[in-house]
Amino acid sequence: MNNIFGRNITLTLFGESHGPEIGCVVDGLRPGLPVDEGAIAHQLDLRRPRGNIATARVEPDPFRIVSGVRQGRTTGTPLCILIPNRDVKIEDYVNLSDTPRPSHADYTGWVKYRGCADLRGGGHFSGRLTAPLSAAGAIFLAALAERGIRVGTHMTRCAGIADRSFGDLTVDLAYLDNAAFPVLDAARGQAMQSAILQAAQAGDSVGGVLETVIIGLPAGLGDPWFDTVEGLLSHALFSIPAVKGVEFGDGFALAELRGSAANDPFRWQNGQVVTETNHNGGINGGITNGMPLILRTAIKPTASIALPQKTVNLAAGTDAEIRIAGRHDPCIVPRARAAQDALTAFVILDLLCNTI
């Protein structure tokens, strides 16, 4: 069990929130894939906190490609991206070491790493690690785009407010590529932002649901046991801090239907087998059927809140109260999108290696 994911392509994340640099290594990419530094910067930009709905910590995220790229193309050898950590106010977190923040990894990381890990600011568990992940995501997304496969994610729910459903997928996905606050309906986006601000002012935080769609997938990706497309994607997506559920197609709603309503009838369309409905989210028997792949992740509210909370003092062996000082993002849902797109693209790219 470790910090490496993937079979044909592998992704390794390293670094800690308060270390000098964080980074990733991607191995197994085929030589000749386009690597556009502008696209990498764009993905980093999409995950960057913005204005008053996100932490005030400035994260310009300059990055450095250390290996694996030459003249704008992958070389086929391991690709390493490094991102320096900056503007870290170490003192904010120092007093947390003995008093684990509720629903953070402070306590479990302390147990697992036997007190040796550098857990300041979340350490290796920190959401900061999604920066190199998002950077690499730009390369994965470009590799899929070359094959006509598009990935996009919107906040289908946030702070209890629903976005509109996907309509014309090609149009909607193109729109999301550049949407800093990834909703399809601007008015509902405004309502979400107001609700996030309200929670922040109350010293609290909110969560939401991210919905991802992939179009252009060939049928036949995935395996029945145990590398189902659902299994591989969920394995990856649960790494995004705060994800507590993953569902495909109609997901949990399917459990309430009868078979006659849940099944997706086949028919021919332009020489292709398609389904009339897509309750199964483009996957049958763990394998893609060529229809749009649809998934949703449940993102719990940010665990770091300004309100006082009950915790324990691990050193003293006493109960304690904690007030988390630093700067905290009252809603990480919009920013988590870049990580979700990156991991989704990674898994699909890895699956495609098996089919060529």
- Residue 107 burial (CB < 10 Å; 0-12/13-18/19+)? middle
Residues of this chain, 159-188, that bind a copy of itself according to CB under 8 A:
160
Residue 100: DSSP 8-state: P
Residue-wise over 91-102: b if at least 16 C-beta within 10 A, else e? ebbeebeebbbb
Q: Which residues does residue 313 pair with via DSSP β-bridges, in sequence order?
A: 318
Residues of this chain, 76-95, that bind a copy of itself according to CB under 8 A:
76-80, 82
Shortest CB 176 distance to a copy of itself, Å? 19
Name which position in 61, 172, 247, 341 contacts a copy of itself (CB under 8 A): 247
- Name the residue with tokens 């109960």: 319
Name which position in 45, 145, 238, 327 contacts a copy of itself (CB under 8 A): 238
Q: Which stretch binds a copy of itself (CB under 8 A): 37-45, 50-58, 139-147, 314-322?
A: 314-322
Q: Which two tokens stand for residue 76?
A: 């086929």
Name which position in 243, 336, 342, 345 contacts a copy of itself (CB under 8 A): 243
Residue-wise over 287-307: b if at least 16 C-beta within 10 A, else e? bbbbbbbbbbbbbbbbbbbbe
Name which position in 4, 56, 171, 180 contacts a copy of itself (CB under 8 A): 4
Q: Containing H/E element for 44? A: helix 37-46
Residues of this chain, 50-79, that bind a copy of itself according to CB under 8 A:
64, 66-68, 70, 73-79
Within a 13 Å sphere around the CA of 5, how many CA atoms are in the beta-carbon half? 25
For a copy of itself, the closer CB: 168 or 256: 256
Is residue 1 close enough to count as binding a copy of itself by CB under 8 A?
Answer: yes
Is residue 103 close enough to count as binding a copy of itself by CB under 8 A?
Answer: yes
For a copy of itself, the closer CB: 58 or 307: 307
Is residue 260 close enough to count as binding a copy of itself by CB under 8 A?
Answer: yes
Name which position in 54, 105, 144, 151 contacts a copy of itself (CB under 8 A): 105
